[in-house]
Amino acid sequence: MSSVNRRKHKRVEAKIEVEIEVVFPEETFRPKRKGGQTLNISERGMKIMMFDVPESFYKKMLSPIRYAKISFTLPATNKHKVLHGKMVWLDYNSQKEECTFGICFETITPEDQKDMHDFIGTLERQKDSEVKVD
């Protein structure tokens, strides 16, 4: 297993409340809505944890291609974002009924990408300015 990071965009830790709508084409494209929280973000994707996910919901998400709409508000700027992407991996903890997944934004406007870039830069500067006291 290689430890080389192949990502084009840097990810930073960030906890942001999100609303996820997972699209199930086999159910007449009716999205299923769930709440969650980001664990990290980049300009082109997120790692998200959903809570209170029954195993039946998780199993429905197991598909070669599954799309989702992510709605959230960027802290500090209070800009509301609605981004669409493809789930690229899933992990499930049946004891806690938590589902963690990675999403890659397939289409993102230049404005949204700039807002994400600026927000990530702000987080990086805050992290760099933290003073650690022993």
pTM of the model: 0.83
Residue 119, in any domain of the structure: yes
Count structural domains, the chain.
1
Residue 2, in any domain of the structure: no
Residue keyed to tokens 């599954």:
66
* pLDDT score at 115: 93
Residue 46, in any domain of the structure: yes
Domain span at 69: 12-125
Residue 44, in any domain of the structure: yes
Residue 130, in any domain of the structure: no
* pLDDT score at 4: 46
* pLDDT score at 10: 81
Residue 132, in any domain of the structure: no
* pLDDT score at 1: 43
**133: Cβ contacts below 8 Å, ≥ 6 apart:** none
The CATH number given to whatever domain includes residue 69 is 2.40.10.220
Residue 114, in any domain of the structure: yes
Classify each residue of 8-23 as buried b or exposed e, where b means 16 or more C-beta atoms within 10 Å of its C-beta: eeebeebebebebbbe
Task: Give, for all 134 residues of the chain, the pLDDT tens digit.
Answer: 444 445 576 889 999 999 999 888 777 667 788 999 999 999 899 999 999 999 988 988 887 788 999 999 998 789 999 999 999 999 999 999 999 999 999 889 999 999 999 999 988 888 777 645 44
